[in-house]
Amino acid sequence: MSAVAAGLEGLVVAETALSSVDGTNGILTYRGYNANDIVNKVTFEEVLHLLWYETLPTQSQLDELNSHLARHRKLPDEVLNVIRALPKSGPPIDALKAGVTALGMLDPEQDSWDQGDLREKAIRATAAFPTMLAAYERLRNGKEPVEPDAKLQTAANFLYMVHGEKQSESKARAFDTYLMLLVEHSMNASTFTARSTISSSSDYYSAITAALGSLKGVAHGGANMMAMKMLLEIGDPNKIRAYVDESLQIKRRLMGIGHRIYKTRDPRVNHLMAWSEKIADEVGDDTWYQLAHNMEVLTNDHPYFTERKLYPNVEFYSAPLLYNLGFQPDLMPAVFALSRIGGWSANLMEQVADNRLMRPQAEYVGPANQEFVPIGERG
């Protein structure tokens, strides 16, 4: 029997020039730029340009991209009608799946793999995602959708469309940093799903829909929701140790602690931790930031976690940050998608440039040489 790489761990399935993850040393790069060197210095839109056009933009190039995104933030009536018709009881990330499907059905070049066409699809979908999600969020809470403001960029616009009024500059900057830090992360589960889907000669929108389905899982993009639910369940800093001890006893995972790749502190954590603290101070509620911080202090000094090199990942402080920005836990996986669609889109452009159908094999371990028995003779 040949060796099986459970979860495809250690297998290289593609070459990429988009990002690299050094899990041993805790380094994330976007096209060779260390994320720690550019965070809080570039906007989410600048990183989109880097991923989609291979360079950080000049001011005129950034202005052009922002203008293009602004033109596509307003939803076509058909897409907004789909969002309106959806049940209000489902996970918000499912609304994005429905919305992007409708968006694709309106695209006369839906099946085109031309690089220019793919960039156009990426711009349209990335612009539409926040509007779709904000519309669904308001509708499920009995409110009418708010149209995007052409003067606001992605982060500030989403906050505005969700809350119905412009939010502070610090909240917009915090959310922009979140979007910038989660946009791309090498061959993660949803990115692999997107690339695998389009490799079958499918279309951009189908690949994005498939990626959303993967991101929804609590072992991936749904982890921010579960981390926040964990903090809400604990509720009191005095209960942290008991919760951790009980979790170890019953083998319950501490959400936001540990990562498949990083064997040190996730490089994105420090920046989200800092913004989480700032926004907690601004809104006058540091409960959730302090709970996360106190839990990290405990686990950083606990042999179970240190021996296994389990440290906070990107979800650990993004959860309290997003919560203090006004997002309920079940909205958080979909909020993640507002960022990661930029990376998915870049990966799809890269995949189709040198495509081959992804067709791994499975090791058969079932019964062999079974004899057929007619139905009348089966006991």
Model pLDDT, residue 2: 58
Q: Is 259 marked active-site?
A: yes
More confident: 256 or 333:
333
What was the pLDDT predicted at 1? 46
φ, ψ for residue 257 (rounded to 5)? -110, 120
**What percent of the chain shows pLDDT beyond 90?**
86
| Annotated active-site residue in 49, 185, 220, 259 | 259
User: Is pLDDT of 236 > 90?
Assistant: yes
CB 290 within 8 A of CB 237: yes
Q: Which of 45, 46, 184, 315 is catalytic?
A: 315
Rounded Cα gap, residues 270 and 277, in angstroms: 11
| C-alpha torsion angle, residues 53, 358, 189, 105 (rounded to 10) | 60
**What pLDDT is attached to residue 251?**
92
* CA 101 to chain CA mean position, Å: 18
* pLDDT tens per residue across span 105-157: 999 999 999 999 999 999 999 999 999 999 999 999 999 999 999 999 999 99
Q: In this structure, how many other beta carbons lie within 10 angstroms of the beta carbon of residue 160? A: 20
pLDDT in tens, 62-85: 999 999 999 999 999 999 999 999
Look at residue 379 in the predicted model and tell me its pLDDT.
85
List, for residues 158-217, the tens digit of each pLDDT value: 999 999 999 999 999 999 999 999 999 999 999 999 999 999 999 999 999 999 999 999
Q: What is the mean pLDDT of the chain?
A: 95
Question: Which pLDDT band holds residue 312 (cuts at 50, 70, 90)?
Answer: confident
What is the Cα Rg of the chain in Å?
22
Chain segment 336-372, per-residue pLDDT in tens: 999 999 999 999 999 999 999 998 888 899 999 999 9
For strands 27-30 and 19-22, give the pairing. Answer: antiparallel
pLDDT (0 to 100) of residue 311: 87
Q: pLDDT per residue over 178-191, tens digit each? A: 999 999 999 999 99
**Residue 315 bears catalytic tag:** yes
Look at residues 266, 263, 186, 193 and name the one whose alpha carbon lies nearest to residue 227.
266
d(CA 167, CA 224): 22
Domains of the chain as residue ranges with CATH: 16-216+331-353 (1.10.580.10), 223-324 (1.10.230.10)
| Residue (of 298, 300, 278) closest to 289 by Cα position | 278
Q: Is the pLDDT of residue 7 over 80?
A: no
Using CA atoms, how far apart are residues 33 and 50, in angstroms rounded to an integer?
10
The label of the residue with tokens 């990107």 reads 314
Q: What percent of the chain has pLDDT over 70?
A: 99
Contact 23, 259 (CB under 8 A): yes
Q: State if pTM tops 0.85.
A: yes
Residues 269 and 315: their CA atoms lie apart, in Å, by 8
Q: For position 293, what pLDDT does the model report? A: 94
Question: What SS3 state is found at 312?
Answer: strand
- Predicted local confidence at residue 78, as pLDDT: 98
